[in-house]
Each structure stands twice: as C-alpha cells, then as structure tokens.
Structure 1
C-alpha cells in the first residue's frame, strides 16, 4: 500500500469498472483495491476486511460498482458526520457519481464533482444547501478557521435551508465574512450592530464575531473567528505557569472574550524564556515576540514611565497587542 491510501481508497466492486477506477485514480491519486487481480491494483480478500482496516485511516473511499453494495458495506462502520470519512459511489461505466457519506465535512461533494469532471459524468449531489445554492453552514468553520457554537447545528441548518428570514450580524471582517457578503442568499439581511435587528422580522440569527448578543430571542449560530491578539507583560519567571494562564483567560472571559477567539499571544523579546509563554505555546497558541524598538513607537492609552526605565518602551502588553 502506498502513502496515498491515507487519502483515497478506490474499491473496484465489479471488473467492468476497471477503466473507470483508473481514471478516478488519475484524478484523485490513491490506490485501487480489487478482489479480481487486475494489473496495478492491490488485492483484497473482502471489501469488509479492507474497510475494517482503513475506515479510520483513509480520508475518502470511492466505490466503483453498485450503490447497494456500497451502502451495505459501510453501514456497520458509521458513527457520525464529524468522524466518518467521505464515501462516493460511481457506477462501473463512469456515467453517474454519487456522494454517499460526509458530503460537506468529509469533502465527498467536492470529490464527487472532481471525479465527475474527469469522467464527463453527472454528479448526483443531494445535500439540500448544494442543490439550492446556499451556504453549507457546517463547513464554514473548517473553511474559514472559525469555531461554531453550538457545534451541533441541525436546527439552524434546517431553518436556513428552508429559507427562513435570517439576520446575519457581522462584528468582525475577514475573508470569511467577505465571502458571505459576496454570496448572500436572498433571505439573509446583513447587520453590523445587534441593536438594529428586529427579532420579530427574523427566524434565525447568524453571528460572526467575538461576542454573541444574549438578548435577541432567536435560534442562533455563532461563528467565532480567531481575531483577538493578547498582549502580555509578565513578571520575571511568573509561576506557576498554569495558574497564570488560567488568570489570563479568566480575565478575557470576564470581558466576554472566549478562548476560541484568541489569534495569538504577544510580548517583548526579553520575555522569551518565561515559563508562561512555553505553556501557552504548548496549548497551541502562537506566541509572537517584539523588540523594544518595535514597541516604543506604538501609541497606547496607558504608557508607563516605570516600564520605560526597565524595558526601553513605555508599554509591553498594550503595545504588543496593538502591533500584532
């Protein structure tokens, strides 16, 4: 088996689909698995055995053969759309391509479109948002690096795809919000201030921003972008690191800033070896260091003569956050 199978497994159900399978491999890469001994394929004894071995490893399974065999083969392995791989079924002649499982989160819809393009086939995409040309709400976090609250959004998706009047509150701007405004469905109205939203006129609220308004009585889907830069000015060898970090995030929470919004931590170069920074980096928070020369010219609301005497800049935490 090649490393490509970590991405794509092409399962040749019927010998008649060999040519179709080779075309798919040329488009997606990966490896062809077959029980029939065709040239340049990997032999398997059973489809079930292959799936049991690779279900949690491979990203995409493409069945070349009957849909019934595909469905019965994968049924015992299904968990949920957040963990199941993409599954696609292509008829042996290469005329029809059907995304079967994980169309959005697993990427089966996109892979099916790519396969259909290579085969000159008809892609039978059935997910409602794709058929209606609407946003796929469950793919937005992965597409734009956001966190969704709640993670389970079936109610919100149902309202959205039913084209219920939707208020879109944008309190930050990034490539994701720009894309949303460029592809705005007709039933969505954009707002930049929560107080301008009349809840009697809408049935769904979608928010892209750090905070979600609590006083709008509508089902809500909150996307949290990583857009907050935290500047820190640390006492020398501040410890214990975990407690200091807990205090930092408690202060942020008190200000209504969730941890999911943190884009990075910034401070002065002299603090490079502080245990707190190592702890934060170990938790996956990017840490950025600036020199005193870079920080000293940043205008801040609370400059300090004491900090200037010791660090060569009138501000560390505020200046670092602003410069980041």
Structure 2
C-alpha cells in the first residue's frame, strides 16, 4: 500500500515523522510520503496517487479538503484523521473497499492510539461483502447490491457464500462464519446470494516472487512464503503461482516448496527481468553485480501477475530466501 501523511502543526509534523518510521519498516507498505501544510493544494495535486491519506489535523479540515475530490466508495483512497495528540485514529472515508478501517487499527497499534470505526457491520462484529473483497483481493460486480447485503449482515442475517476449494480456509474464519452460510463448489469464482441477487467476486491473480541464495532447503522456502503472507493476513492457498528467475530454476528447495504448496512454479528469463521496469521495484547492488539485474523476487512476481499488476509486499528476506507478492489490478 502507498501512504501519504499530511500535517498542519509542528506537533502534528512530529507525529507524522514517527508514523513514517513505523510504516517504512512494514513490508506491506510500498511507499510512504510526508507532507506538511498546504493541505488543499497537496490533496488536489496527488489525491489519487496513494491508497491511504492520513491527516494529522482537525477532522473538519480534512472533510472540507477531500469533499471536492471524492468520487465513489469503490475507487476513493482510504482517509484517516489523527488528532495531533495521537490519542485517536479515525476511519473517515472508504472504510471497507479502501481499507480505512483496517488502516485505522494498524496505525493505532503503531502509536498506542484508539481506533475509531463507525461502519455498521464492523460495530456488529460482522464482515461486509466489500470488506471480504478488500481483505482477499477480490473484484466485485453488481456493486449496487452491496448496500442491501451489508444491511442484512449488520442486522444479524446471513448471506449464502459459495467458495472455490482454494478458499475453503474461510470456513474456519470466525467473523466470516457469523456473516455467511458457506458452501464449497468447483468453480473458480466466489458468489454471494441474497434475496434474489447474485454477486460474483473474482479473485485477482496473486503471485509470490522468490529469490534465494544457492542451496536453500524446501523448509527455508516454505517458511519464507508463509511468513511473507502473514504480513498480508493471507493463507498460502490464496496464491495462484510462485515465480522465480531462470537462474534459480534448478534450486531444489524452491521447486519442492512449490510442489508442497500445490502451486505452479513459473520461470522468468533473466532477459525478461532485465528489461522489465516498474516504479515499485527496488535494486539490490549485490544481485546486480552478480546477475546484471536489480532483483528477482519483485520483478518475477509483477511479470507473472500480469500487466498493470502492483506490489502488495515488497521483497523481504528470510534466512537466505527473498519473497515479494504482487497482485493483478
């Protein structure tokens, strides 16, 4: 995710820099920028460039500043407000599909604040359909029906949810189980049914890119994959593939971990990686000196995820194994 933090006072700016330090150490945060003052001009210039805006200021300032910019709950970035004393983190806009509720809890935990969330399903301890889509990277159709579905869930009703086999992990999710009646079917998409409406949720292609030192074991690679996905609160079965470079295709540890994970191992040529450019990719000078490319895990994941894909976990090292995760958009 890409975060922007904007403050208006010196005390707020100090808090912004503290948040910056926390977020830069989070592998699920791809980019974070800090702005100070000039709220209207900054938001007008780059509102859509970030997944989440954090305003350290009075909520009224943030409300008046973003009102001319917002379009729809399905496309607007998350907007949070934090008082300059750092005591509360308010989920202000795009709580579900934009992830503001999730980010409010995340940032509150970082600074020891209280998250403030006001959406009905969350207050009832349920999971709305748009929250399900956000958490598991699902594309929604028939969005007009979501309001009725979420109102039913918040009121204590249940919605029929048909899951592909690879999503059967949701059967054991305590909040999902209180919101949906779950069945498993042999199709590749998810379907929610309620009061005559049928909504399809299509999983976006998700790929883990893997790089490694020579001679890593299956256990090392498998541990790295599971550990990486824990940052995203996702199980291994949510992945669609593992990708690596042809210089690593003979690594038994990577091949065996792919087999153990029941995932296809996709091999990308070094030339393809060398010619690939993406603003989210970072460069390892060690890898560049040895193989002539800036890295393996990030570009391999992005290439295999498809055109216009994005990183959702930057490359992270685990005992000789590097993992990055990309998803199709």
> TM-score under structure 1 normalisation?
0.53
Q: How far is 1:224 from its partner?
A: 4.2
Counterpart CA distance in 2 for 1:112 and 1:71 is 17
Q: Are residues 1:222 and 2:212 paired?
A: no
More strand by share: 2
Counterpart CA distance in 1 for 2:199 and 2:7 is 41
Counterpart CA distance in 2 for 1:57 and 1:213 is 31
Secondary structure of the 1:56 match is helix
Q: How far is 1:211 from its partner?
A: 8.8
Q: How far is 1:48 from its partner?
A: 0.8
Q: Which has the higher contact order (CA 8 A, sep 6+)?
A: 2
* Contact kept in structure 2, 1:104 and 1:139, CA below 8 Å: yes
Cα 1:155–1:13 change in 2 (3 A) is: same
Structure 1 residue runs of 4 or more that deviate by more than 4 Å after TM superposition: 207-214, 224-227
Q: How far is 1:159 from its partner?
A: 1.5
Q: How far is 1:68 from its partner?
A: 0.8
Match of 1:127 among 115, 119, 123: 119
Counterpart CA distance in 1 for 2:83 and 2:135 is 30
* Contact kept in structure 1, 2:160 and 2:192, CA below 8 Å: no
Match of 1:101 among 77, 83, 93: 93
Match of 2:170 among 173, 179, 182: 179
User: Tell me, which stretches of 5 or more residues in structure 1 are unaligned?
Assistant: 1-5, 36-45, 194-206, 228-262, 265-280, 286-324
Number of residue pairs the alignment of both structures matches: 204
Mapping of 1:5-20 within 5 angstroms?
Answer: 7-20=2-15
Mapping of 1:301-316 within 5 angstroms?
Answer: none
Q: How far is 1:97 from its partner?
A: 0.6
> TM-score under structure 2 normalisation?
0.53
Aligned to 2:80: 88
Match of 2:160 among 162, 167, 171: 167
Q: How far is 1:71 from its partner?
A: 0.7
Q: How far is 1:82 from its partner?
A: 1.7
Aligned to 1:54: 46
Across the aligned residues of Structure 1 and Structure 2, the Cα RMSD in angstroms comes to 3.6
Q: How far is 1:189 from its partner?
A: 3.3
* Contact kept in structure 2, 1:88 and 1:97, CA below 8 Å: yes
Mapping of 1:17-36 within 5 angstroms?
Answer: 17-29=12-24, 30-35=32-37
Secondary structure of the 1:87 match is strand
Which structure has the bigger radius of gyration?
1
* Contact kept in structure 2, 1:177 and 1:208, CA below 8 Å: no
Counterpart CA distance in 2 for 1:123 and 1:21 is 17
Cα 1:61–1:224 change in 2 (3 A) is: closer
